[in-house]
Chains A and B, each alone.
Chain A
Amino acid sequence: MPTKSKPAKPKVKAILDSYQGDPSMLVSILQDVQAEYNYLPKETLTQVSQDLDIPLTRVYSVATFFKAFSLKPRGRHIINVCLGTACHVRGAVRIRDEIERELDIKPGETTEDFKFTLETVNCVGACALGPIVIIDSKYSGQMKPDKVKTLLESYD
């Protein structure tokens, strides 16, 4: 197990303690770690693996299997375009394309200045508002391609 990486992170320790070091809570633990660091830094995965006494390969496989996890640093603002069926039939793809064009990134990517990360979500269940874009935790409903630019410009 590589241990030469940076020193252990006290916050990870606290998260692990809150689950009593229960390996079955791995998904929840990684969610909390990601909420703390905005992504899953390599050394946190090592620490989780050592403290829970499970192979790093398993932590890595879980961290790469679930869509919610990112192994790369993400932007200050997370943009989520809902691509649920209801949003799709109301033109969500056009909204995603317009954000891609405006920021010059694809879903899963982050702008060079780390301002935005673009992600897509399969449904947030706010279908009455579709198509919907969620930036951080703010919902913007009934989106149109020509409203994208103004929406993005309202963030700094």
Chain B
Amino acid sequence: MAKTKTKRLSSPQELEALRELIVKGRDPNQSCIVICGGTGCLALGAQEVINAFKQEIEKGSLKNKLALRVTGCPGFCERGPLVVIKPKNILYQQVKSEDISEIVSATVKGNIVDRLLYTDPDTGQKITYEHEVPFYKKQKRLLLGDNSNIDPTIIEDYLALGGYATLSKVLFKMSPDKVIDEVKKAGLRGRGGGGFPTGVKWESCRQAQGDTRYVICNCDEGDPGAFMDRSLMEGNPHSVLEGMLIGAYAIGSHQGYIYVRNEYPLAVRNAGIAIKQAGELGLLGKNILGSGFDFSVKISRGGGAFVCGESTALMASLEGKVGEPRAKYVHTVEKGLWEQPTNLNNVETWANVPLIIKNGADWYAKVGTEGSKGTKIFSLVGKINNTGLVEVPMGITLREIIYDVGGGIPDNKKFKAVQTGGPSGGCIPESSLDLPVDFDQLTDVGSMMGSGGMIVMDENSCMVDIAKYFINFLEGESCGKCVPCREGLKRMSQILTDITEGRGKEGDIELLERLSATLADSSLCALGSTAPNPVLTTIRYFRDEYEAHIKDKRCPAGVCRELVTYLIDEENCPGCGLCVKACPVEAITDMGKKKPVVLDQEKCIKCGACYDVCKLGAIIRK
């Protein structure tokens, strides 16, 4: 790593000179071991792998031959911990600390460790290079691509790739209006969920009356099953900062905030390091690069409230108050934080900005559909083979994402639905899988883009249970300020609980629909007005499942505990005893070898542990 003295840069020339110095000090052909140090891989044990690499390199005195870089998330979480050997991009997956000495010695000799390569499940072939793995093939990683080229705690890595050159261009060669025009022309729409045109928002904020303007980066990614903002903030925080700086210049703001979930400790840490390093180089603070433009950024940590993703609630929380939303008859771009004009965008939106200004609006607008430009990052999770983060061009079909990128459904199960848009979104059935993914198409089928969670469900997922899950979630997260949301969600939760516990009545579906309409019309903020979406889409596409619960007192997917009974199929049970060991309440008795086991219905808590372990189909779920 090129160590550079931290000296404030006071002109674009000094920035370029520093960049040249960094690039000159690095050999592009030197082998570099890249390890994902994102939350997903760390949870899978990446820290031990990192430590083992450090030791091995130290031990063999290989510092001159091998570089080591701990980076943010490259996306393929399913196969973590991930190791990529640059510059060739050899991908090793599910790497353990005991594999390290083999990887190091092979890399030094220019060899490949075959057994750690990814195997294509369709062809059985080993795949050597990252970009040839099917998971990556259909992706277009404009934002995530740099994650594996950057150690987020080293600003020099970002500078080496041309970082902050766009900021320098903006400060010295572009007027604020020109920047706004470019973002408008690119067709960038807010990635936080609403899809509002970013350039238009900036323009309104710039034109609003006020003494001080604020810009905010929303990293309060509260949608369950979504982690793209976290991965950008963890993996490439400077790209977000550069986007905020460009936006602040265009809007005329000198103070920014990053509002980040406290449940994302690594994102908090890396954002803090990035702010400190950028400040030391004079890329934040007073008189940035000698341009006369001042801008600083503070981090504020969220307290675990989903509603704080809503802009007015977030701003209340930033002021040190309870995170309750307010009615938006006056927009936040006019009166937001401290009653001043405030522009809020989410992490992914900010990260798109430097790309647009660097490459031009026309270049950016070539990717995507008529109404939705650029790429979108989705977190593809649930019942899917390749769990992970995927960045795809707008307009790709759901089928391509789920089957080509995601590798389909595990255990040959049947696809049932995909839930997009988080708790405000909806469930999309198989009949709509060929839908091109963009803001408007998803809204047309009753769901929404949201921030980009994509949860895949198979035949074993109960759609009534999913609706109940989201309503219960939102009931818990409702701030309680307005009645339709506070009371409406409570009643909807009661009705859905009754249905899933066998107390459903004729007319419940219609009552849910009526309550939904009331919530959509009369709630104060988007949390309440979009809350019915999961219920409405599951009724629309899976009405038969609701009816099975209500009329036949049956859960077709076998999820709703009160409607399910477990039985032993005596003909198929060889008495192997696996289920006896798995049962947490000793409800199953071993009757000796080759004799079927006996299940005591009185003791059974219907946890399903026996069903999961039995590979012979001898446990029947009814």
Contact = CB atoms under 8 A, between A and B. Distances in A.
A128 B78 contact: yes
B303 A129 contact: no
B556 to A, nearest CB: 15
A126 to B, nearest CB: 4
Listed residue (B225, B227, B461, B466) with the most chain A CB atoms within 10 angstroms of its CB: B225
Contacts of A26: 320-321
Determine chain A's interface SS by DSSP, over half rule. helix
Contacts, number: 157
Given A69-B303, A101-B605, A132-B43, A125 B388 contact: no
Interface string B606-617: 011100110000
| Ranked 6 nearest A-B pairs via Cβ | A66-B303, A125-B227, A84-B224, A26-B320, A86-B381, A127-B381
Interface in B417-437: 419, 422
Contacts of B388: 128
A144 B301 CA distance: 32
A91 B320 contact: no
Interface in B465-485: 466, 469-470, 473, 477, 479
B35 interface: no
Contact of B382 (A66, A69, A85, A145): A85
Contacts of A83: 224, 473
Interface stretch (A2-10, A71-79, A116-124): A116-124
A98 interface: yes
B325 interface: no
Contact of A27 (B39, B300, B419): B300
B226 A123 contact: yes
Interface of B: 39-40, 42-44, 77-78, 80, 221-227, 230-231, 262-264, 300-306, 317-323, 379, 381-383, 387-388, 419, 422, 453, 455, 457, 461, 466, 469-470, 473, 477, 479, 581-584, 605, 607-609, 612-613
Interface string A127-141: 111101000000101
19 contacts: A65-B479, A69-B303, A83-B473, A84-B225, A85-B381, A85-B455, A89-B466, A90-B382, A90-B383, A91-B608, A94-B607, A98-B584, A121-B263, A128-B80, A139-B42, A144-B582, A146-B582, A146-B584, A148-B584
Contact of A122 (B43, B224, B322, B457): B224
B225 A123 contact: yes
A126 B42 CA distance: 9
A89 B456 CA distance: 9
B496 to A, nearest CB: 14
Given A26-B320, A66-B305, A68-B262, A126 B608 contact: no
A130 B306 CA distance: 21
B317 to A, nearest CB: 6
Interface residues of A, number: 48
Listed residue (A97, A125, A139, A144) with the most chain B CB atoms within 10 angstroms of its CB: A125
A27 B39 CA distance: 24
Nearest to B227: A125
A28 B301 contact: yes
Interface of A: 23-28, 30-31, 54, 58, 61-62, 65-69, 83-86, 88-91, 94, 97-98, 101-102, 121-130, 132, 139, 141, 144-146, 148-149
Given A66-B303, A85-B225, A122-B306, A130 B43 contact: no
Contacts of B473: 83, 122
Nearest to A137: B265
Nearest to A122: B224
